[in-house]
A and B are shown apart, each in its own frame.
Chain A
């Protein structure tokens, strides 16, 4: 996407970009390249002995059928998380944009969950879903469903999905609401005078106008589902039972940060990044075309 009208200056754009780029280069690009270089090394945790092993870390991963099978699981998880988190948030944002009375209260409560520190949120979920004492598990028992995420893989998968969605609803809600609030009232009023009902106005005016926000959120949510969910998995299921909730990024985290197998963890990061970069490029190439700027 390009602007037709641009400013001209030989130095100003660089000056504006410099702080962001310097920080990115010093604290991200350089360390990240170091971390990724690990993917072709076999090294002990302290970095005392190091050997170059070509692509051994990668081939070892693809020989492992468990690793390969976690691709499908990750895909289902990511689609569910991004879809549900965005859908629910959009619905709530549209409604919050509509009401006048009590709007502040609703907004505050809907944004509140985002303020829960991720580290604490994990404990909260364990608490609510504990098959023995958890309130949600208790409710489900009374409806005749024997909730037990410690043994049943489907339950565990549902648990991490709900937890990941919950965390992201507030985030999406905030941006959808900001997008909706930026829509000029006059447009909607004009459409209403022309006889367009709320449904038609939503489809023909609101949806196109928030499409830049939606596109932003789509990309961010997919990246979130792929990269930022290991904390939830770690706190609730640790990938279990029997691998039912082992998604790719959890294994990256578990092997690298916890298991200190830096080489394999780095190799997995490379694979994960490749997938997401491809996904992002596809999104920018094909989906962004449909975005109305």
Chain B
């Protein structure tokens, strides 16, 4: 720390505590709801303290619930595995492709450079729901329905990641590139040995966001697959909620939501240390 100012630290803790309370409150409600009987959470007010069904609900979900009935006969671990594969491919793929693209845009001059940037950027502006019919046709024509490729490749382009890397590269002091060039290092060496290490915090941030984006995909896998072996956990949850004329089994749904949240949260925890200022490689 730069200096000690106890009141400032206290203020920080208070602010963060309030922030956490507000932001994480819905998560708490979800958890509480997952530990009750369905009837209990249909009465006012919804309980704010965990109920008695914690073990019962979670064990049913893990060991019998999702294995056959309401989520469509696919075991939970299988759905989790599908989600994981999808999320990893999407997160890693997006980061790699965007890193390369942003590097090209920032560190080279070539015709249509800005056109390429804007083309990538535009992909932000038309949600998949709006262009679903033609996109489905492209994927179908390429024979990519019902495959991990169809689930992930169309989502690999990332405007946000490219944009973020561009923003970051622009802040990297020119002297570094200059020095690399003096030393006779080519652009790829520079990218790998200097730019990549400098980008760790940004990559960590992006990985968290992109992994979660991939993990939470719903409409895309729903439309691209007809084979149950590609079912993801979010699809499973949706299927539990979508009961036509009656009430969903909310506690079960909420329990599934909590379980489905664990991998993205684990990613956050694991990547924490990338977020923490490295004491070793300080002074960039």
B65, CB-defined interface residue at 8 Å: no
A107: which B residues are within 8 A, CB to CB?
268, 272, 275
User: Of B129, B135, B157, B284, which is within 8 A of A20 by CB?
Assistant: B157
A282, CB-defined interface residue at 8 Å: no
B55: which A residues are within 8 A, CB to CB?
none
A253: which B residues are within 8 A, CB to CB?
127, 129-130
Counting contact residues on chain A (CB < 8 A from B), the size range is 35 or more
Main SS at interface, chain A: helix
CB within 8 Å of A: which B235-262 residues: 237-238, 241, 250, 253, 257, 260-261
CA distance A29 to B216 in the complex (A): 24
B196, CB-defined interface residue at 8 Å: no
**Contact across chains for B125 and A223 when beta carbons are under 8 A apart:** yes
A5: which B residues are within 8 A, CB to CB?
174, 177-178, 181
A72, CB-defined interface residue at 8 Å: no
User: Of A108, A120, A121, A215, which is within 8 A of B265 by CB?
Assistant: A108
B183 to chain A, nearest CB (A): 13
**Contact across chains for A114 and B212 when beta carbons are under 8 A apart:** yes
Stretch from A52-60, A146-154, A172-180, A239-247 that touches the partner: A172-180
CA distance A4 to B153 in the complex (A): 35
B269, CB-defined interface residue at 8 Å: yes
Q: Which residue of B lies closest to A253 (CB)?
A: B129
B261: which A residues are within 8 A, CB to CB?
112, 115-116
B212 to chain A, nearest CB (A): 5
A68, CB-defined interface residue at 8 Å: no
CB within 8 Å of B: which A253-287 residues: 253, 256-257, 262, 265-266, 269, 272-273, 276-277, 280
B9 to chain A, nearest CB (A): 6
A26, CB-defined interface residue at 8 Å: yes
A112 to chain B, nearest CB (A): 6
**Contact across chains for A20 and B208 when beta carbons are under 8 A apart:** no
User: Of B129, B138, B283, which is within 8 A of A186 by CB?
Assistant: B283
B280: which A residues are within 8 A, CB to CB?
none
Q: A115-B264, A119-B238, A257-B129 are in contact. Are A27 and B153 (CB under 8 A)?
A: yes
CA distance A125 to B275 in the complex (A): 30
CA distance A228 to B1 in the complex (A): 39
A20: which B residues are within 8 A, CB to CB?
97-98, 100-101, 120, 156-158, 162
A26 to chain B, nearest CB (A): 6
User: Of A17, A118, A125, A257, which is within 8 A of B130 by CB?
Assistant: A257
A24, CB-defined interface residue at 8 Å: yes
**Contact across chains for A98 and B12 when beta carbons are under 8 A apart:** yes
Q: A16-B103, A116-B257, A127-B33 are in contact. Are A92 and B135 (CB under 8 A)?
A: no
B70, CB-defined interface residue at 8 Å: no
Q: Which residue of B lies closest to A33 (CB)?
A: B134
Stretch from B37-45, B56-64, B74-82 that touches the partner: B37-45
**Contact across chains for A216 and B167 when beta carbons are under 8 A apart:** yes
Q: Which residue of A lies closest to B217 (CB)?
A: A117
**Contact across chains for A13 and B157 when beta carbons are under 8 A apart:** no
**Contact across chains for A16 and B104 when beta carbons are under 8 A apart:** yes
CA distance A249 to B126 in the complex (A): 10
B49 to chain A, nearest CB (A): 12
B27 to chain A, nearest CB (A): 6
**Contact across chains for B187 and A7 when beta carbons are under 8 A apart:** yes
List residues of chain B with CB under 8 Å of any chain A CB.
1-3, 5, 8-9, 11-13, 15-16, 19-20, 23-24, 26-27, 29-30, 33, 41-46, 48, 97-98, 100-101, 103-110, 113, 116, 119-127, 129-135, 137-139, 142, 153-154, 156-158, 160, 162-164, 167-171, 174, 177-178, 181, 186-188, 190, 201-202, 204-205, 208-209, 212, 215-216, 218, 234, 237-238, 241, 250, 253, 257, 260-261, 264-265, 268-269, 272, 275-277, 282-284
Closest A-B pairs by Cβ, 6 of them: A115-B264, A34-B134, A31-B134, A27-B154, A178-B205, A16-B104
Q: What would 7 A/B residue contacts be, using CB atoms closer than 8 Å?
A: A13-B108, A16-B103, A26-B138, A27-B138, A95-B15, A106-B20, A128-B26
